[in-house]
Amino acid sequence: MTKANLSKHILFFTAAIFWFAQYAHTPFVNPQLITMGAVASLMGIIGGAYGFTQFVLRIPVGILSDKWQRKFFVCAGCLCAALAGLIMFLFHNPAGFLLGRALGGVAASSWVSMTVLYVSYFNTEQAARPITVINMANQIGRLLAFITGAMVASAITPQAAFLVSAIGGFAGFVLSLFITEPKQSTPQTHLKLRDFLAVAKERNLLVTSVLAVFVQLLAFATATTFTPNHAVSIGATPAALGGIQVALLVPSIVLSFLLSKFILRRIDAKPLVVIGFFFTALYCVFVPFTATIMQLYWVQALGGIGTTLTFSLLMGLCVERVALEQRGAAMGFFQSIYGIGMTAGPLIMGILADTRDLHFGFLVMAGIATCAMLAAALCLRRPGRVFFFCKKRTKKT
């Protein structure tokens, strides 16, 4: 096995462990806040802090990752994930959770470097397939995180799941030290600000980034942040809180494998994104009407399929027409912009839950998912337009 192939596999496992560290504790954040007496709007602020720091940092990280070694950001991201879990374990209160979730967002900013570095190991112009593979590492890590976190929370205490995250982050940091970058990973010519602005104007990048805002808004308003609240209301135990996340991820992992090996070789990614938004809309409609944990398990599977068809494919499409030396900046732009959705989703849902109720919030999210589906059908289908209301300018000859 060549050094590049070995590093590719190490990075895959590092990514899995990194996301393990990021998610082992997440099913227990809102349930623990409920026991502390926090209102839904405060939960939304704490949940949104994770997306806000990514929104601020991902563009700078994308630019810097095209100048420095991307391995540096991978290592730093794992270390920040470890510190985030440790802070929430030691300072188990709303303030500690706010700081920990914000630091978790700092850690997640390194995903820019991980994804672009992984793509650089492949000699292909098509970025959708290798990014689907690295997203599968994300999903495997999250799956193991939810299973382990649920077991630890049931056997010991939910607070122990935060320590599990810290241990996972430190393990990922140690493994990341053994990554070797391919020579073409870090370009010799670096982007200046004006070059970055030119990259950000690329039509395909703009369309996919805006659609990704809706994907993350919906995911962080529901499955990641407030679906556990509904689960608690219908009697979920700590084990069940982990179980609903496992039910979300198992279909996602299977679908990611099928996408990378079979589906994307036969079907274009763009119509699949539209189908993904449709499944997400159905998910948002069905969740508030589930009355048992078993019903919620089945609905979670629907949500997992929807998110995989939208987010994984949009991430691959966003850099498909961008030169190698600009992909770090493009991915930084993409991941920074969708941080808006990660911030806004929990905030909007928290306000809706406090002013009306959680069921109403889920139905509003179903409406947003339907609008996103229509926008995706129009924007991705018509190459002559940037958005459905804005025609692409063409030079006169």
Q: What is the structure's pLDDT at 310?
A: 93
Q: Express each pLDDT in 6-19 by its tens digit.
A: 888 999 999 999 99
Sign of CA dihedral 213, 293, 163, 135: negative
For residue 392, give Cα distances in angstroms to 201, 346, 380, 388, 396.
Answer: 11, 33, 13, 10, 13
Mean pLDDT of 109-127: 77
Q: What is the structure's pLDDT at 364?
A: 97
Tell whether the model's pLDDT for residue 394 goes beyond 80: no
Burial class (CB in 10 A: 0-12, 13-18, 19+), 157: middle
Residue 71: Cβ within 10 Å count: 23
Q: What is the structure's pLDDT at 184?
A: 58
Q: Among 73-77, 116-120, 192-196, which is the least confidently predicted range? A: 192-196
Mean pLDDT of 317-339: 77
Contact by Cβ (8 Å): 205, 326: no
- pLDDT: is 384 or 333 the higher one? 333
Mean pLDDT of 99-107: 96
3-state secondary structure of 39: coil
Mean pLDDT of 111-134: 75
Q: What is the structure's pLDDT at 336?
A: 79
Percent with pLDDT over 90 in the chain: 59
Q: Express each pLDDT in 278-300 by its tens digit.
A: 999 999 999 999 999 999 999 99
Q: What is the structure's pLDDT at 389?
A: 37
Tell whether the model's pLDDT for residue 387 goes beyond 70: no
The pLDDT mean for the chain works out to 87
Percent with pLDDT over 70 in the chain: 89
Q: Among 32-46, 70-84, 146-160, 334-348, which is the least confidently predicted range? A: 334-348
Provide φ and ψ at 390, rounded to 5°: -135, 110
Tokens of 244: 């609903």
Q: What is the structure's pLDDT at 187?
A: 52
Closest Cα to residue 97, out of 106, 107, 89, 109? 89
Q: What is the structure's pLDDT at 304?
A: 93
Tell whether the model's pLDDT for residue 89 goes beyond 90: yes
Closest Cα to residue 217, out of 99, 353, 105, 368? 368
For residue 372, give Cα distances in angstroms to 28, 52, 293, 397.
Answer: 29, 22, 28, 35
Instruction: List Cβ neighbours of 79 (8 Å cut-off, separation of 6 or more).
Output: 107, 169, 170, 173
Q: What is the structure's pLDDT at 65?
A: 73
Tokens of 149: 């976190």
The full length of the chain comes to 397
Q: What is the structure's pLDDT at 196?
A: 66
Q: Express each pLDDT in 228-286 by its tens digit.
A: 999 999 999 999 999 999 999 899 888 888 887 788 878 888 899 999 999 999 999 99
Mean pLDDT of 206-212: 92
Q: What is the structure's pLDDT at 124?
A: 54
Q: What is the structure's pLDDT at 190?
A: 55
Helix (H) or strand (E) holding 385: strand 385-387
3-state secondary structure of 386: strand
